[in-house]
Structure 1
Amino acid sequence: MTEFANRSAIVTGGARGIGAAVVKELVKAGFGVVIADLLVDDGTRLAESLAPHARFQILDVTDEREWGLVLDETEREFGPLGALVNNAGILDFGTVETETPDLFRHVLDVNLYGPWLGIRLAAPRLRAAGGGTIVNISSTAGLMGYAGISGYVASKWGLRGLTKAAALELGSSDIRVCSVHPGPIHTAMTAGLDESMAATQPLPRFGEPEEVAAMVRFLITEGTFSTGSEFVVDGGATTGQAGVLETSGAAGGNGDRNELEVSP
Structure 2
Amino acid sequence: MNLSPKQRIELHGFNNLTKSLSFNMYDICFTKTKEEREAYLEYIDEQYNADRLTKILKHVSEIIGAHVLNVASQDFVPQGASVTLLVSEGPVEGVPDESFEESPGPLPESVVMQLDKSHITVHTYPEYHPDEGISTFRADIDVSTCGEISPLKALNYLIRSFDTDIMTIDYRVRGFTRDKNGHKLFIDHEISSIQNYIPDDIIELFDMIDVNVYQENIFHTKCKLREFDLNNYLFGYTKEKLHPDEVEEITERLKLEMDEIFYGKNIV
- Comparing both structures, which one devotes a greater share of its residues to strand? 2
- Comparing both structures, which one devotes a greater share of its residues to helix? 1
Instruction: Give the number of the structure with larger relative contact order, counting CA–CA contacts within 8 Å between residues 6 or more apart.
Output: 2
TM-score norm. by structure 1 comes to: 0.30
TM-score norm. by structure 2 comes to: 0.29
